[in-house]
């Protein structure tokens, strides 16, 4: 069988769904994580401030973030070169490629746009520079909150495996990606309006609960109606999680700059 043709029974997709036993184990782990986050939310009586790093540490954080993005782009290029040399960059069956790409994009851009303007409004009392920075970083961090657990789930099941060492090439792709995700999320600590809130914990718990339902059905690619719906809902909840980091309890429920003093 040619190297660029999926094996029988394997869907043309970026990863292979979990089998019944592994899917059940994954669903249990994810629902435990969701329950732990929900419990943590009940313990958050009032928004919790995060100590802001100093100027030097902030500079290093931003530099690491930029270098992580550059490293990931180099890794993707090297990964693609190996796939091309082994003739693994196959064209999907007619109609499947566009549907699959659309499934991954559904909801992300509208959610990002709404998140940007909501955070911009919630943080306007801090001045336009802080509000704009909060909106940009918050909008960038939201999909990373989704992608970090998502990538951990699908990392070991990516398809097709890249010879001569599939584990090595998975690490080449995913390890820099994890650094990008973690460093992007860490930039939230630079934002004066950001607080850990009960609502953020609940929204994040909801995202993991949706993941657990998705896992119970094998955590397959979002091509069918059910996984596509669960994918969209989970993405919405990651953006809601970030928005809730900027909402404060008060008369208007808006961020209060006096709370940061």
pLDDT (tens digit, 9 = 90+) per residue, 52-95?
A: 999 999 999 999 999 999 999 999 999 888 888 876 655 444 44
Distance of CA 55 to the CA centre of its chain: 27
Beta strands in 163-228 (DSSP E): 195-196
How high is the mean pLDDT of the chain? 85
Is 1 or 113 the better-scoring residue by pLDDT? 113
- d(CA 194, CA 243) in angstroms, rounded, equals 9
pLDDT of 5 reads: 39
pLDDT of 112 reads: 93
- What confidence tier does 1 reach under pLDDT thresholds 50, 70, 90? very low
Distance of CA 203 to the CA centre of its chain: 14
Distance of CA 127 to the CA centre of its chain: 28
- d(CA 233, CA 225) in angstroms, rounded, equals 12
pLDDT of 17 reads: 92
pLDDT of 256 reads: 52
Return the axis-axis angle of helices 198-216 and 128-154, rounded to nearest 10°. 30
User: What is the mean pLDDT of the segment spanning 219-245?
Assistant: 93
Residue 141 · residue 239 · CB < 8 Å: no
Q: Is the pLDDT of residue 186 over 70?
A: yes
Neighbours of 200 (CB within 10 A): 26
- d(CA 161, CA 163) in angstroms, rounded, equals 6
Question: Of 234, 243, 240, 244, which is closest to residue 106 (Cα–Cα)?
Answer: 234
Query: What are 6's two structure tokens?
Result: 């999926």
Q: Is the pLDDT of residue 104 over 80?
A: no
pLDDT of 223 reads: 82
Q: Is the pLDDT of residue 3 over 90?
A: no
Q: Which residues pair with 66 in a beta bridge?
A: none
């Amino acid at each position: 069988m040619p190297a660029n043709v999926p094996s029988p029974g394997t869907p043309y997709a970026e990863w292979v769904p979990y089998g019944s036993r592994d899917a059940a184990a994954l669903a249990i782990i994810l629902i435990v994580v969701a329950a732990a986050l929900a419990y943590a939310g009940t313990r958050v009586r009032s928004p919790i401030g995060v100590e802001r790093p100093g100027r030097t540490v902030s500079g290093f954080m931003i530099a690491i973030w930029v270098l992580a993005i550059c490293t990931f782009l180099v890794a993707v290029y090297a990964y693609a070169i190996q796939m091309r040399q082994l003739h693994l960059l196959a064209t999907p069956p007619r109609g499947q490629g566009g549907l699959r790409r659309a499934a991954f994009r559904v909801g992300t851009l509208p959610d990002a746009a709404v998140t940007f303007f909501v955070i911009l409004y919630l943080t306007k009392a801090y001045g336009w520079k802080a509000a704009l920075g909060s909106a940009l970083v918050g909008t960038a961090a939201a999909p990373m909150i989704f992608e970090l657990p998502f990538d951990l789930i699908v990392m070991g099941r990516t398809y097709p495996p890249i010879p001569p060492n599939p584990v090595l090439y998975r690490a080449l792709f995913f390890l820099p990606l994890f650094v990008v995700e973690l460093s992007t999320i860490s930039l939230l600590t630079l934002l004066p309006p950001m607080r850990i809130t009960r609502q953020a914990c609940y929204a994040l718990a909801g995202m993991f609960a949706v993941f657990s339902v998705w896992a119970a059905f094998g955590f397959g690619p979002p091509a069918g109606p059910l996984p596509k719906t669960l994918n969209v809902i989970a993405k919405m909840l990651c953006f809601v999680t970030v928005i809730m980091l900027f909402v404060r309890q008060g008369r208007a429920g808006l961020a209060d700059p006096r709370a940061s003093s």
